[in-house]
Every structure is written in structure tokens, then in C-alpha cells.
């Protein structure tokens, strides 16, 4: 508890100092809190050494194997449209590979160019992180998540990382875990909820809904082993190492 007491004391001193300089932004207390909790490991459950051991175990125990194959051999509902040649899924969901013709004089290629590009829809995905206070300290729920294109197979990912196709179970699989906290979530406090654009060099007009939702301390006491409650300090420590944190987490961190 000494760390918490030190945290509170430092918080009050910084807030008082800033207020003396007429910095009285409505979110000042939250900003000071985020700053302080990024300075030291205040996690009330697992210290950073335990977090790294957990993450290393998740990577080492990942049983998935990913092998590059010819696109013509993918199958499983994927097909080329006869009229357009676009690669699409028979459900009409997930994404498609289309072509674009670019006419511009402001890039490196004079006169423009043509290229394939991923069309996932203008509103394609939800990226969400759950937040809650544990003994007065902000913790955020992250997943050690496998994706077929991940460098290293498993990366630190948001609580929820889902396309609307998956949310609507177009894959005929399970409903994404924890999705109810971010969809029709009137009973929970939404801290952040904005559409942010994706990489326009590879995705066509794609936007992602980024959300941070706060829950009470008595919720989600038990979580699956591939999830952990982390502090800002711990996530930022992971960013100092190569190939551990996925781009969606980096996007969410920019607004905390």
C-alpha cells in the first residue's frame, strides 16, 4: 500500500502546482493520474516481471501454425467474382480485395498508379479496452492474441479486437469475448468512443471505432489466462521491446 499512498501524495502535489499556474482543465485530474501511473509499476495484481513471464508463456505455448499457400487454394468461402475479379467472401462480409486507379501529381509516381487494396468497409471494426480501478489504481485489460499475420504469432492486443462480420458471427463461430461491454453498453461508462482511420495505403476508406469503457472493480475478477490487467507503465515498458505490442494497442495508448 506504500506505493498507493505515494501515488496519491504525488498526485495532489502535481495537481496543486498546475492549478497555481491557472491550468484547470476539466480533465486535469485524469491527465495527472495517467502521467503518474506511467512512471512506476503500480499494478496491484502482477508486477512487470510476472507480466513478461506470462506473455512469454503465451507466445511459447501458441499451438497455431501458419503456412503461406497459393491464393487460388484458399477456398473456405473465398472466391473471385466473375465480373470484377475481386476476391470476396461468399457471406458478403469480412473484407474484399479490389483494385483502385490513382491519378495524382503529388506522390513519387508521376501520373499516378494502380494497385490492389483491401476493402473492409468504411465502418469495419471495433477496437476496445476495458478499464477499471483496482485499489484506486487504473488497470486496463489486454489480451495475448494470436492472429495469422502476426509477427511472432502472439501480440499484446486490446480487450476486444473484432470486425463487425465477426461480431455478427458471419464465421458461424462464437460471439467475441467481452463484446457486450462495447455494444449496447448503456450500463457502463464510455471514456472514449471515436472513429479513427486505418492505413490508407493498404485499406480502402477504412475506419475503426476505438473505445475505452470503464467497469466497476468487482467485475471480471476471474479472466481467461490469455488476458491480464495491466497498467500504463507496464504496457509502455512492453513497447520498449521489439515485436510485442500490436498497432491497435498503440492507437489506443495515444488517447490515454
User: In this predicted model, what pLDDT tens digit does every residue of 22-58 receive, in sequence order?
Assistant: 666 767 778 888 888 888 899 999 999 999 999 999 9
In a domain, 29, yes or no: yes
In a domain, 31, yes or no: yes
Q: What is the pLDDT of residue 18?
A: 79
With a pLDDT cut of 90, the percent of the chain lying above it is: 66
Q: What is the pLDDT of residue 1?
A: 46
What value does the mean pLDDT take over residues 166-185?
Answer: 79
In a domain, 24, yes or no: yes
Task: Tell me which residue of 132, 134, 130, 129 sits closest to 3, measured CA to CA.
Answer: 134
Task: Give tens-digit pLDDT for 100-144.
Answer: 999 998 888 888 999 999 999 888 889 999 999 999 899 999 999
In a domain, 4, yes or no: yes
Q: What is the pLDDT of residue 27?
A: 75
Enter the pTM of the model: 0.89
Q: How many domains does the chain have?
A: 1
Q: What is the pLDDT of residue 44?
A: 93
Residue 164 and residue 175 in contact, taking contact as beta carbons nearer than 8 Å: no
In a domain, 47, yes or no: no
Domain extent for 2: 1-37
CA–CA dist 38, 55 (Å, integer): 20
CA dist 45 to 113, 133, 211, 223, Å? 53, 12, 24, 12
In a domain, 17, yes or no: yes
In a domain, 115, yes or no: no
Q: What is the pLDDT of residue 226?
A: 97
Q: Across all residues in the chain, what is the average pLDDT?
A: 90
In a domain, 10, yes or no: yes
Amino acid at each position: 500500500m506504500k506505493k498507493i499512498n505515494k501515488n496519491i501524495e504525488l498526485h495532489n502535489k502535481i495537481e496543486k502546482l498546475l492549478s497555481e499556474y491557472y491550468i484547470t482543465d476539466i480533465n486535469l485530474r485524469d491527465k495527472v493520474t495517467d502521467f503518474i501511473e506511467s512512471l512506476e509499476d503500480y499494478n496491484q495484481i502482477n508486477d512487470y516481471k510476472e507480466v513478461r513471464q506470462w506473455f512469454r508463456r503465451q507466445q511459447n505455448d501458441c499451438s497455431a501454425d501458419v503456412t503461406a499457400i497459393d491464393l487460388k487454394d484458399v477456398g473456405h468461402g473465398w472466391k473471385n467474382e466473375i465480373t470484377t475479379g475481386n476476391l470476396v467472401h461468399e457471406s458478403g462480409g469480412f473484407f474484399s480485395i479490389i483494385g483502385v486507379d490513382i491519378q495524382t501529381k503529388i506522390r513519387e509516381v508521376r501520373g499516378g498508379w494502380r494497385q490492389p487494396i483491401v476493402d473492409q468497409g468504411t465502418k469495419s471494426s471495433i477496437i476496445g479496452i476495458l478499464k477499471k480501478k483496482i485499489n484506486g489504481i487504473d488497470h486496463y485489460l489486454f489480451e495475448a492474441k494470436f492472429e495469422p499475420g502476426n509477427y511472432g504469432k502472439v501480440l499484446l492486443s486490446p480487450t476486444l479486437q473484432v470486425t463487425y462480420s465477426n461480431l455478427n458471427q458471419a464465421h458461424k463461430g462464437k460471439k467475441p469475448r467481452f463484446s457486450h461491454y462495447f455494444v449496447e453498453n448503456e450500463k457502463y461508462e464510455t471514456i472514449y468512443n471515436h472513429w479513427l482511420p486505418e492505413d490508407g495505403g493498404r485499406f480502402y476508406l477504412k475506419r475503426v471505432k476505438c473505445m475505452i469503457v470503464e467497469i466497476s472493480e468487482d467485475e471480471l475478477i476471474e479472466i481467461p489466462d490469455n488476458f491480464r490487467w495491466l497498467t500504463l507503465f507496464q504496457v509502455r515498458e512492453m513497447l520498449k521491446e521489439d515485436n510485442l505490442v500490436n498497432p491497435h494497442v498503440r492507437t489506443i495508448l495515444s488517447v490515454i
